[in-house]
Chain A
Amino acid sequence: MSLEMYREQILEHYKHPHNKGRLSDADTSVKDANPLCADEIEVFLKISNNKIQDVKFDGIGCAISTAATSLLTDHVKGMSLDDVKKVSRDDVFKLLGVPVSPARTKCALLSLKAIKSATYKYLGEKLDEKFG
């Protein structure tokens, strides 16, 4: 691992994350945590016409997890639920654009897990996927 993980873009999203906050009129929300590093996240989705109209998140996280959440929430805004289901871990790594060390994979994927869980919960379907 090198310091490459902490490129300007990552630090910018960490210090000023997009979509931070809560949605009082959310159609679905999920709370998740990574007990190893004490990260906690809650995501809120506003859904209509099978599309994510708005998304917000709350919680504490490290730079990698916060930046990933900031980027991913931007990414899924306006996306159809079918497409959200197809977002992969590689998509998250691509959004981050920095090498993520194996020890930090769980941090990077926490928000993907939460957003997908919320989507599946809304659809009343079962999520069967490993994250990190």
Chain B
Amino acid sequence: MDVDALRMDFPVLRRTFNGKPLAYLDNAASTQKPESVIQAVSDFYSASYSNVHRSVSSLSMEATQLFEAAREKVASFLKAKAEEVIFTRNATESLNLVAQAWGRHNLRKGDVVVVTEMDHHSNLVPWQQVAREAGAKLEFVPVTDQGELDDSFEFPEATRVFSFAQVSNVLGTVNDVKAWTKKARKQGALVVVDGAAGAPHGLVDVFDADFYAFSGHKMCGPMGAGVLWGKKSVLEEMPPFLFGGSMISKVKKEGTTWAELPAKFEAGTPNAADAIGLSRAVDYLQRVGFSSIQKHEEKLLKTTLDLLSDVPGVTVYGSAKARTPIVSFNLAGAHTHDVGSILDANAIAVRSGNHCAQVLMDRLNIAGATRASFYLYNTEDECHRLADAVKQAQMVFA
């Protein structure tokens, strides 16, 4: 994998701030876009734009074809059927869809919904709300000191749903989806996987679950297109989430019947342009190759961990065996926002704060952390620049 060549595909990486080249280490928040993705969205609007699934015009048929080809592409990425792929805005919407449509329909008083202490708010809060409404109990799989899910956790007999992060967006911990799914299934639970931090690294072989959610923008796709994959039999049983055009079969004054999958869950005009962009992002990542990407990411992770371990006062959170290239840390005596500002002065973009994971922050007994997260276009040189800037922050605040 030629990182220098690949960086040329990402226009924004040519930018400088304060006279220094941008080091974009905020990939767990969102990733940059290659030219091919930007071009695909632009091409759709300039050459093929029309509403989809609506009219018999050649233009509309072309737009529909491009949109459905995007669905096929995403389905092949997931090794799933196209009719099981529902386009949403993002992982948050995908998870809300399941919580609202499946949860509200199926949860009863006394049921248990299980999430984990490392979940992003986008998984935790929708279930917390739906559980409260239904009178169901919300339980948490604890996180160990290593930053892994606690294997000794026993699912209560009344567990109806287990919804959890495939990868922690703070610690980078990769959870064993197969093993956890098997365990939750023993109590007959529905299994929902939040893949927002997993799919970008090609970790999508998870389909013994019932649902898998991810965002396109975290894997080189445009903002505004996400995916909910659902097992066909579960999707067929589940009532719709949003009602309106496209998702209906027959509408009469006295009632309505629903469209077939996946239309049943895609009410209204979809974001076809960004779905097409997402499919180009999958193309792009597959062309580079996920195994090459993963190897490169492992190297960046190791380099960063080694370099930061030499900086006095730095605490890195989590030490899981299986891990994506995310390093969350704090510097003694310095607030995470100040560390972020000093990194910014060095043109290094990271995220400071609680990372939409306040329950995990409580577990770690911190208010926030600085998070550097890497992707295919990051370099070893950027790891060194990060460590140097943290040393600078250490000197300012020591």
Asked if B18 is an interface residue, CB under 8 A from chain A, the answer is yes
Give the chain A neighbours of B18 by CB distance below 8 A.
1-2
Within 8 Å by CB of A1, from B335, B345, B397, lies B345
Give Cα A40–Cα B341 distance, bound, in whole angstroms: 19
Most chain A CB neighbours (cut-off 10 Å) among B335, B336, B345:
B335
Return the contact of A63 from the options B335, B345, B367, B368 (Cβ within 8 A).
Answer: B335
A37-B368 contact given A2-B18, A62-B335, A62-B338, CB 8 Å threshold: yes
The interface size bin for chain B is 10 to 19
- Please, which residue of chain A has its CB at the minimum distance from the CB of B358? A38
- Given the known interface contacts A6-B342, A64-B338, A107-B337, the answer about A37 and B353 at a Cβ–Cβ threshold of 8 Å is yes
Q: Known: A6-B396, A37-B352, A60-B367. Is A104-B345 also a contact (CB below 8 A)?
A: no
Contact pick for B338, options A2, A40, A60, A63, CB 8 Å: A63
Which B residues are CB-close (under 8 A) to A64?
A: 337-338
Q: A1-B344, A11-B396, A37-B352 are in contact. Are A6 and B338 (CB under 8 A)?
A: yes
Please tell me if the beta carbons of B335 and A3 are within 8 angstroms of each other in the complex.
no
Cβ of B354 within 8 Å of any chain A Cβ, yes or no, is yes
| A101 CB within 8 Å of chain B | yes
The answer to whether the Cβ of A61 comes within 8 Å of any Cβ in the partner chain is: yes
Asked if B345 and A3 sit within 8 Å, CB to CB, the answer is: yes
Which residues of chain A from 85 to 101 have a CB within 8 Å of any chain B CB? 101
Instruction: Pick the contact of A101: B335, B341, B368, B397 (CB < 8 A).
Output: B341
23 contacts between A and B (CB under 8 A): A1-B341, A2-B345, A3-B342, A3-B345, A5-B341, A6-B338, A6-B396, A11-B396, A37-B336, A37-B352, A37-B353, A38-B368, A40-B367, A60-B335, A61-B335, A62-B335, A62-B338, A63-B335, A63-B338, A63-B397, A64-B337, A101-B341, A107-B337
Interfacial residues, chain B to chain A (CB-CB below 8 A): 18, 334-338, 341-342, 344-345, 352-354, 361, 367-368, 396-397
Besides A39-B337, A60-B335, 14 other A-B contacts (C-beta < 8 A): A1-B344, A5-B341, A6-B338, A6-B342, A6-B396, A37-B335, A37-B352, A62-B335, A62-B336, A63-B338, A64-B337, A64-B338, A103-B341, A104-B337
